[in-house]
């Protein structure tokens, strides 16, 4: 198994993709809007990925945070709120906000599990700052680390009850990034003491099953490399000070914050200590280069993967009722 998660080009597997994935055996797959038409189509697509891999629990990821980051769109699927809605409720009723976030997470999990998606790239644990780029700030649970952790925990727990593994992001924190890492490399000048605020929610949720790195340079820790490609940040901060021992994946290596070819970036991320490289755009030449540059996933990565996929705790639930409960609670704000 190669330590990489690949995207797909459309709503069905092409013959070329099926042949390539069968030989390459990537750790998992990620879906985008181009892969999401309706329930029957998505279920058929995810079933084909399970059949191809021979693994019933092959990770099939999606970014379904709520708000503007949602690959499964109305009218086929309901819209979900983003983090600031729960932040606003927490301001007046903390326990109700936590209950709403948990119900929201379970409803999301049920919606995803219905179509065969078993991993959601959420929640954000980034702590919002005045300078946070809108690309991140408009999605967060707030500016207070304890609140971010509490709401993030509730969403993780809810998704697990819905049958879906959550991915906390963007470790060790994207809140001080003033530019969008999709297009530029954020560089953070804050000193080590100040950065304690950024890592606090991640440390509180260090037992999360999966996490995603950020493409951000933290001068206090490694002035030369973004976190995704930094052995120092991954070893000393993410695995060390935060204490995270779950499956660590990169943010999309195609983002412009990183330089080099797709294969170079994937190899650097794995060498730095990431378990898995995330390559989203289904460009066959780039995927072939990545596979050519990577060895097989080591036992420690496979063990983390197994623990993560076994972490869900499905409970009976009805999506419409959970959404109604969430809306009733959010109305309190």
Domains and CATH numbers, the chain: 54-279+298-330 (3.20.20.300)
Q: How far is CA 176 from the centre of its chain?
A: 19
- Local structure of 97: helix, strand or coil: helix
Query: Of the candidates 61, 12, 74, which has an alpha carbon nearest to the alpha carbon of residue 32?
Result: 61
One-character DSSP codes across 224-270: SS-GGG-HHIIIIIIIIIS---SEEEEEETTSTTS-S-HHHHHHHHH
In this prediction, residue 180 carries a pLDDT of 85
Which residues in 209-234 are b (16+ Cβ under 10 Å) and which e? Answer: bbbbbbbbbbeebbeebbbbbbebbb
228, 222, 217, 241: which is closest to 272 by C-alpha?
228
- Alpha-carbon separation of residue 107 from 96, 211, 314, 332 (angstroms): 16, 21, 12, 19
How confident is the model at residue 272, as a pLDDT? 98
- Three-state DSSP at 82 gives coil
Strand partners, 273: none
Question: What's residue 59's pLDDT?
Answer: 98
Query: Would you name the residues annotated as active-site residues?
Result: 182, 251
pLDDT score of 115: 98
- Integer-rounded Cα Rg, in Å, for the chain is 19
Among left, alpha and beta (phi > 0; psi -120 to 50; other), residue 305 is alpha
pLDDT in tens, the chain (333 residues): 999 999 999 999 999 999 999 999 999 999 999 999 999 999 999 999 999 999 999 999 999 999 999 999 999 999 999 999 999 999 999 999 999 999 999 999 999 999 999 999 999 999 999 999 998 989 999 999 999 999 999 999 999 999 999 999 999 999 999 888 998 999 999 999 999 999 999 999 999 999 999 999 999 999 999 999 999 999 999 999 999 999 999 999 999 999 999 999 999 999 999 999 999 999 999 999 999 999 999 999 999 999 999 999 999 999 999 999 999 999 998
**CB atoms < 10 A from the CB of 194, how many?**
12
């Amino acid at each position: 198994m190669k330590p990489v998660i690949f995207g797909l080009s459309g709503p069905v597997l092409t013959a070329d993709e099926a042949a390539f994935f069968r030989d390459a055996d990537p750790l998992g797959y990620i879906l985008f809007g181009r892969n999401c038409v309706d329930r029957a189509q998505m279920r058929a697509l995810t079933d084909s990925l399970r059949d191809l891999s021979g693994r019933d629990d092959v990770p099939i990821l999606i970014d379904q945070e709520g708000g503007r980051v949602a690959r499964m769109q109305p009218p086929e699927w309901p819209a979900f709120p983003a983090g600031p809605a729960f932040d606003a409720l927490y301001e007046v009723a903390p326990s109700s906000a936590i209950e709403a976030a948990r119900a929201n997470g379970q409803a999301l999990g049920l919606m995803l599990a219905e179509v065969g998606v078993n991993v959601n790239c959420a929640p954000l644990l980034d702590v919002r700052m005045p300078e946070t780029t809108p690309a991140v700030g408009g999605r967060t649970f707030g500016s207070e680390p304890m609140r971010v952790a509490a709401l993030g925990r509730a969403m993780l727990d809810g998704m697990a009850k819905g049958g879906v593994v959550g991915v906390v992001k963007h470790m060790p924190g994207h809140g001080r990034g003033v530019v969008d890492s999709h297009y530029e490399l954020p560089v953070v000048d804050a000193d080590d003491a100040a950065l304690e605020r950024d890592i606090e929610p991640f440390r509180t949720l260090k037992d999360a099953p999966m996490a995603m790195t950020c493409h951000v340079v933290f001068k206090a820790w490694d002035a030369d490399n973004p976190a995704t490609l930094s052995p120092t940040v991954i070893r000393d901060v993410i695995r060390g000070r935060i204490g995270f021992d779950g499956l660590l994946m990169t943010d999309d290596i195609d983002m412009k914050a990183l330089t080099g070819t797709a294969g170079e970036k994937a190899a650097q991320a794995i060498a730095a200590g990431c378990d898995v490289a995330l390559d989203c755009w289904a460009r066959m030449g780039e995927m072939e280069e990545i596979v050519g540059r990577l060895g097989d996933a080591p036992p420690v990565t496979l063990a983390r993967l197994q623990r993560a996929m076994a972490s869900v705790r499905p409970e009976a639930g009805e999506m419409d009722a959970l959404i109604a409960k969430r809306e009733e609670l959010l109305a309190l704000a």
